[in-house]
Every structure is written in C-alpha cells, then in structure tokens.
Amino acid sequence: MNNTFNLSRFIKLFKRHSIANYKPYLMLLLILIGGLSIALGYTSMNANSFISIEQYTMFQLCLFVSAPIFTAGIFAELGSQSKSISFLMLPASNLEKWLVAWVYSFVIFLVVYIACFYVVDAVVLQIANASLKQPQKLVNIFDPKHRLISDLVIFSLLHALSFFGAVFFRKHQILKIGSLLLVLYFGMIYVNAAVLTAMFNTEVNVGQLFSSVSFIDGNDYYHINESPIISSASSYIFFIVAGLIWSATYYRLKEKEV
Amino acid sequence: MIEISNLTFGYSKNQLLFKDLNLRLSKGHIYGLLGKNGAGKSTLLRNIAGLLHPREGHCKVNGLSADSRTPAFLQELFFIPEELYLPDVTVSGFVKSTAHFYPKFDEAAFYKVLSDFDVPEISKIKHLSYGQQKKIMIAFGLATNTSLLIMDEPTNGLDIPSKVQFRKAIAAALNEDRCIIISTHQVRDLDSLIDVVLVLDQQEIVLYKSIDELQEMAISRGEASAKLDMEVLFNSAISGHK
C-alpha cells in the first residue's frame, strides 16, 4: 500500500469533502457573487466610463480580499475537537488531505472566481452601457497590460499565508489571518520606508513594495523604477516563498494534535 | 497488537501526565480502561490513536507507529470519541462516502446493528438526537472490522435499553483478530462485557488484570461471590486496596 499518495484514495477523499461541504461552499459562492455585484456595480455608477482598468482593479481587489477569507476556512474541521478527530482519523494520507484542501482553495476557487467575475461584470456592463456615451467592453484579464501573472503571484502568497493560518490557528482563523496579513503588510511598508530613507538620507515616497521609489533632493525630483530583472526576480521569490509556506502547512498538518 | 514503550507525555513540559509508561495489549480481548475524571484515560487513548505525540517513547499498533497516522495504520483503527462529529448527510450517505476507506467494512453488519439500536436509516444524521448519533458511530465502528476499536465513554448519552444493546453488540463483534478498548468512568456499564481491566489513577496503571484472574483472587480470599462488582473493584484499585 502506498502510504504517501494514492490516486483512487485521493478521488474518494475529494468526493467526500465535496459531499460534506457543498452547502457552505454554495453559500460562499452566493456571498462572492453578491460582493462582486456590489463592488462592480458601485464602481460603474461612480465612474464616468467603466473602462477595462477600473474593471481589472475591481478584479484584483475582490480576489485579494475573497481568497484569504475562503482559504482561512478550508480546514474548518480542525477548529473543533470532534471534527478534528474525524478528519485526522480518516484513512487517507496527510498529503492527500492537504492536497484536497489546496485544490479546493487554490485551483477551484480561482476558476470559480474568474467565472463569477465575468458573469457579474457582463451583467453590470449591460446595465452601465445603457447610460454611458461610449459603450465599454468586457475586460480581458489575460491582456499583458494588466500583469495578471504578478497578481497571481500575490494571490499565491496570500493563499499560502491563509492556508498556513487555517491549520495553525484553532479558532477565529479569518480574524487572526486578516490581522496577521495587515500587520505583515503595514510592517513591511514601514520597514521598507525606513530602510530606503536611511539609504537615500532624505524622505522618500515609496510606491508598491519592492517596486519604485521617489524622493526630492534640493530642487530635483527623482523617480527610480526597479529594473525588469528585479521585477521578475521578486515575482519568483514571492512564488518560492509561497511554496515554502505551502510545504510548512503540510508539515503542520502532519504534526497536528487533538 | 498495541505496544507502548516508555511513553512520556504531558501537555506541558513541567506537568507530565505519563512518565515511562509501558503497556502491551493483544488481540482477542475487550479491555476496560477505567479511571476517575482527569486520570488521563482520553489522553492515553489519543496517544494510541496518534492524535497526540509522545514527548518520549512510542506507541505502536500492529507494528506501525501511531505518530505517522499513515493510511495503513488508520484503516486498521477506528476511534469513537466522547464528543463525536458526523457530517450533515443521511445515514446511507455517510456510509457511501466513508465506508470505502475501510477495506473490511461490512455494510450488512452496520445496518443490522443500527436496526438493533432502533435508529431509522433514512434520517438525516443532524436531525437525530445525540444518543442516536452515538449509536450510528458505534454501529459504524463495529462494521469497519478494524483490528483495533477504541471507544471513549461510549455509553454517555445512551439510555438503559441501548446500553444493554451496546453490550450485546460489542460482545458479538469481538473475534480473535480484534482488540477493543473501552474507556469509561461509568464502570457499571462494562459489567459482564470486558475481559481485562485496566485502571488508570494518578497517571499510572494501578491495575492490569483479566476478569478471570480477579475472580480467582477473590475466591482465594474467601469471597464467595462469583460475580465481580466493577464499582467495588474500581474503588478498591484507586484507593490502593488491590
């Protein structure tokens, strides 16, 4: 018997997880559609033209908010003692249990999210175009100008952190992970600004993390962009970090005690 | 079957529950694990099941380390906790989604025990009472035919007729390839059921004897009664009058 991974056992586990969780997942799907409708509807009403960049910004924003919320609950079984025992004692390997949760929260979530976004965006555009002078088209998220790959890397990192938190924290995972992400994000911005100020010996305006920086020196204004090599290297580094956190989640699950 | 060697466990380093505990349990027996509240019964069972990891020593079941919780280990062990969880599906839905993880699962035996317990098959599990959910779990655990069945306070929530039915079902399920451990503080529930008594007190096994041995000891002391009173036995074990 293969004690690490068996495809037939994985499929059985996947089916079992789907049967046991389809109700809360359907509920979350409705919440996602509602959230997207509010976000896209509000943006279309407050914009003079509902252009593709605005649509894409909403795509990014809703993805970065909804993904950690969904992922934080993916190991909901581990939140209660009785559910934990039932989950951990089921005859499947830790890798299979980890993989079912990963596939649901990463792959399936992303596919469902993109599908929901397009459905809601299409409906909102239909309504918005009725009052716009120049009808707008549905955004193509795969257009290179939108840098979808970079956003997917950020999504991977957010997912990995939430995934780890879902196993690490016993209760109130969403709140704890949300707080952790905010502290991490603002902490990094603060440290980044402090380091750059020390480096340039003047007050700097920092854009996104690990990207551009601008500062005034006397009467001169400087804006420095990162080189394309650094830009792509940071994406790889973020993805590697996400991979390490996914692996840490697996080992945390393996060592989980009740 | 179960080999516990030099088990040291504590929820914190400074407060150990077990120190160098050694224990061997074999197939073909129903072990009654008795002890007061807080004696460490559930903790010991969770160490055996791999739900807790020892600080030192090891627990092995069928030669497999409990720590690893591999599928080979898990498909030969069924654990019924005191507080149980069953998904929001029908009884048959639960069987369909879970039984195939246990290669020796006997569906006919499951429905037979369920019918003996008077639990309706068509019901949604969440609509059933705690006692009925417990009966489903017990019936399922028996039907898995795992070589080790662990039950933590299984009679909690069962009414008197169900307790009688429970004893019958457990006695019928025992065979030479199976080991059953029942932990309880309601010692009378195990009357005429267990064949080996384990008493855990102050983090130590203070009594580990078969019912036959205990009866022989009682007779040798001139106690005429052939039937052991589990409550008297338990009280004397924990008060040091073994």
The lowest-confidence range among A21-25, A125-129, A215-219, B231-235 is: B231-235
| Beta bridge partners of residue B3, listed in sequence order | B24, B60
pLDDT at A48: 67
Residue B167 has pLDDT above 50, yes or no: yes
Write the residue in A89, A93, A255 that is nearest to B70 by C-beta.
A93
Alpha helices in chain A (DSSP H): 7-46, 52-72, 81-88, 94-102, 109-129, 148-168, 173-200, 228-254
**Four-point Cα dihedral B49, B54, B58, B62, nearest 10:** 10
* Mean local confidence (pLDDT), A180-200: 87
Q: CB A89 to CB B93 under 8 A?
A: no
The lowest-confidence range among A116-125, A152-161, A205-214, B196-205 is: A205-214
The average confidence (pLDDT) of chain A is: 90
In a 3-state reduction of DSSP, which class is residue B240? coil
pLDDT at B241: 45
Residue B238 has pLDDT above 80, yes or no: no
Total domain count for chain B?
1
pLDDT at A111: 98
Residues of A in contact with B81 (CB under 8 A): 81-82, 85
Q: CB B69 to CB A94 under 8 A?
A: yes
Phi, psi angle pair for A128, to nearest 5°: -65, -40
* Mean local confidence (pLDDT), B87-104: 93
| Beta bridge partners of residue B80, listed in sequence order | B151
Residues of A in contact with B87 (CB under 8 A): 19-20
The lowest-confidence range among A12-26, A27-41, A191-205, A242-256 is: A191-205
pLDDT at A85: 95
CATH number of the domain enclosing B126 = 3.40.50.300
Q: How far is B105 from chain A (nearest CA, A)?
A: 13
Cα–Cα distance measured from residue A71 to residue A63, given in angstroms and rounded to the nearest whole number: 12
- Which band of pLDDT confidence, cut at 50, 70 and 90, is reported for residue B232? confident
Q: Which 8-state DSSP code applies to residue A47?
A: S
Residue B150 is part of which domain span? 2-238
* Mean local confidence (pLDDT), B19-44: 92
How is residue B111 written in tokens?
A: 């429905």
Phi, psi angle pair for A3, to nearest 5°: -90, 0
Residues of B in contact with A89 (CB under 8 A): 49, 51, 69, 74, 77-79
Amino acid letter, residue A118:
Y
Report which secondary-structure segment, H or E, holds B168.
helix B160-173
Q: Which 8-state DSSP code applies to residue B15?
A: B
Cα Rg of chain B (Å, integer)? 18
| A84-103 pLDDT per residue, tens | 999 999 999 999 999 999 99
Cα–Cα distance measured from residue B48 to residue B54, given in angstroms and rounded to the nearest whole number: 10
Cα–Cα distance measured from residue A208 to residue B218, given in angstroms and rounded to the nearest whole number: 81
pLDDT at A230: 81
Q: Which 8-state DSSP code applies to residue B90?
A: B
Cα–Cα distance measured from residue B154 to residue B83, given in angstroms and rounded to the nearest whole number: 9
Q: How far is B23 from chain A (nearest CA, A)?
A: 22
- Which positions in chain A have a beta carbon within 8 angstroms of at least one beta carbon in chain B? 1, 3, 6, 9, 12, 15-16, 19-20, 23, 80-83, 85-86, 88-94, 254-255, 257-258
Are A35 and A62 contacting, i.e. CB atoms less than 8 angstroms apart?
yes
- Bridging pattern class, strands B2-9 and B18-25: antiparallel
The 10 Å CB-count burial string (b at 16+, else e) for B101-135 is bbeebeeebbbbbbebbebeeeeebeebeeebbbb
What are the extents of the domains in chain A? 7-254
Write the residue in A15, A19, A82 that is nearest to B85 by C-beta.
A82
pLDDT at A215: 85
pLDDT at B242: 46
Cα–Cα distance measured from residue B72 to residue A182, given in angstroms and rounded to the nearest whole number: 42
* Mean local confidence (pLDDT), A190-195: 86
| A213-254 pLDDT per residue, tens | 888 888 888 888 888 888 788 888 999 999 999 999 999 999
* Mean local confidence (pLDDT), B103-121: 93
Residue/partner pairs of A43-46 with CB below 8 Å, 24 or more apart? A44/A124, A44/A125, A44/A127, A44/A128, A45/A128
Q: Which of B78, B146, B79, B74 is nearest to A91 (CA)?
A: B74
Q: CB A89 to CB B83 under 8 A?
A: no
Cα–Cα distance measured from residue B40 to residue B45, given in angstroms and rounded to the nearest whole number: 9
Cα–Cα distance measured from residue A191 to residue A204, given in angstroms and rounded to the nearest whole number: 13
- Which band of pLDDT confidence, cut at 50, 70 and 90, is reported for residue A195? confident
How is residue B210 written in tokens?
A: 């078969």
Distances (CA, A) of B55 to B2, B8, B59, B200, B207: 18, 6, 11, 19, 24
pLDDT at B100: 95
What is the percent of chain A with per-residue pLDDT over 90, rounded to a whole number?
59
Q: pLDDT: is B242 or B224 the higher one?
A: B224
How is residue B32 written in tokens?
A: 């009654």
pLDDT at B227: 64
Are A146 and A56 contacting, i.e. CB atoms less than 8 angstroms apart?
yes
pLDDT at B220: 79
Could you tell me which chain B residue has the CA closest to the CA of A16?
A: B97
